[in-house]
Amino acid sequence: AILVALVVLGAPPAAGEELSEVLQEMVKHECHFINGTERVRYLERQFYNRQEDLHFDSDVGHFVGYTPYGEICARHANSNPQWLEYKRSVVDTYCRLNYRVFGPFSVDRLGE
């Protein structure tokens, strides 16, 4: 898992080593908190072989494609109103919920 993360994030192979022909896909879910949960932004970023294909930004409210394949996927996802509404709600159901769960163990301990 760590090797996949390093390769997807762009870590170079070891000296003299060749990358395998394995195709790699990664999805990152990010929650950005400003002033606690007063302002929360959710990002979903999808990568294929170290290149970001598309992302969803809760501030924008729809998917944006960066590659030809990503544009096709974004068009498909954006054409489904129920899916977009679900993705927009993730700010509350995923980000704010996890902040309440993990905040006491992480954020509140920064001052200690």
pLDDT in tens, 26-79: 999 999 988 878 899 999 999 999 999 999 999 999 999 999 999 999 999 999
Please give the radius of gyration of the chain, using alpha carbons only, rounded to the nearest integer.
Answer: 17
Task: Tell me the CATH number of domain 24-106, given options 3.40.50.1110, 3.30.110.40, 3.40.50.20, 3.10.320.10.
Answer: 3.10.320.10
Distance from C-alpha of 37 to C-alpha of 39, rounded to nearest angstrom: 5
Sheet of 51-57, strand order: 25-34, 39-48, 51-57, 62-65
State the pLDDT at residue 3: 47
Contact (Cβ atoms closer than 8 angstroms) between residue 99 and residue 37? yes
**Strand spans (E) along the chain:** 25-34, 39-48, 51-57, 62-65
Name the residue with higher pLDDT: 100 or 92: 92
Structure tokens at 74: 């974004």
